[in-house]
Structure 1
């Protein structure tokens, strides 16, 4: 379900009622807890939080015209997805998140390499997500990215 929204507010306004509250609450956590330096935008049809060109002029190696992505939030067909590249790049952070998740949710953790899927809107562990958001600064992400993903 890729959105054609041009900005975050248009994206939120386009969501079905059952998703607006959860996405809005997650977005507010992101805007509050994500370390300074990341920038909100619409990319790939979802809310994205990137390292802007002013901090990392090289951009994303897959498409240097795009800023370096870090986090995305999307309403998919059957779930809400939070894509956190730090979990993908840092095994220690992944292990921490997997160990903490059962302490914050009764639902089984449903995730891929960087994607955390929430199928039940009333079971989203907002406090855990807020804690996760503060763990990587833009500078740390650049360091991790360059050591793991750059050519």
Structure 2
């Protein structure tokens, strides 16, 4: 659900208390395990982890006003979403995560192309999510994006 919150703290404070617990725990894991260089901010009405324009001035979709997204964390009606663009862009990472999740949780993840849907009423593998977010550096993410955008728009 999209939020009008201007800060991450305001976003979390507006959540129901049970969701605050889950989102805060995911945020702690992300902030602890995410490689250096990503920036936490609010974007698209969600908590976002982006490559700042100071590191990638071309911006998202070659728009120099929009930082390059990498992760988003959002509360939804029935679940909490973690949007991880690397799961969409890197098939090896995607396959590793699906296997690791199944091994740890005992079932396949509820996963779209880049969206991991986490049901707060079920087991959330926080350590595995920490492993996932640690696997792509800013430099590697920029290289993946650049490999797709070989011609200027």
Band the TM-score falls in, shorter-chain normalisation: over 0.9
- d(CA) in 2 for partners of 1:63, 1:77: 31
Q: SS of the counterpart of 1:123?
A: coil
Q: Deviations over 1:16-72 (max 9, x none)?
A: 111000100000011110000000000000000000011000110174421000000
C-alpha contact (below 8 Å) 2:53/2:64 kept by paired residues: no
Task: Identify unmatched segments of 5+ residues in structure 2.
Answer: none
Matched residues, number: 151
User: For residue 28 of structure 1, what is the aligned residue in structure 2?
Assistant: 28
Counterpart-to-counterpart distance in 2, 1:81 and 1:65: 25
Aligned to 2:143: 143
Matching residue of 2:43: 43
Q: How far apart in 2 are the matches of 1:103 and 1:27?
A: 23
- Structure 1 regions of 5+ residues with no counterpart? none
Shift of 1:150: 5.9
CA-CA distance at 1:122 after TM superposition: 4.2
TM-score, normalised to structure 1, is 0.94
Name the CA distance, whole Å, in 1 between partners of 2:100 and 2:18. Answer: 27
